Amino acid sequence: MSNTAWLFVAFLAAWAIIGAYVYSLGARQRRLEERLDSLERSRS
């Protein structure tokens, strides 16, 4: 594999990790919003 290919692999790996973390934050936010909705529904 060429050096340029290794550079892109490293670049993609870095962005995959950042992307996975941002996705996990989004998933946690959605779960919290669902909990909040069900809490408000049970109150009303």
Partner 1 sequence: MTAVAMTAALILIFFVAREADAAMGGPLQRIFYFHVPAAWAAYLAFAIVFLSSIAYLRMGGRRWDLLAESAAELGVAFTTIVLVTGPIWAYPVWGTWWQWDARLTSALVMWLTYVGYLFLRALTEDPQRVGRLAAVAGVVGFVNVPIVHFSVRWWRTLHPSGPTPADLAADSGLGSPELLAFFTSLIAFTLLFAWLLGVRVRLGRLSDEIGAKEIRAPIEQAA
- Site residues (CB under 8 A) for partner 1? 1, 3-4, 6-7, 9-11, 13-14, 17-18, 21-22, 25, 28-29, 32, 35-36, 39, 42-43
**Can you tell me the distance from the alpha carbon of 39 to that of 33, in angstroms, rounded to the nearest whole number?**
10
| Closest separation in Å from C-beta 26 to partner 1 | 9
Report the alpha-carbon distance of residue 8 to residue 15 in Å, rounded. Answer: 10
Least distance from C-beta 2 to partner 1, angstroms? 8
Nearest to 12 by CA among 4, 33, 37: 4
Least CB distance to partner 1 at residue 14 (A): 5
Tokens 């995959």 found at: 16
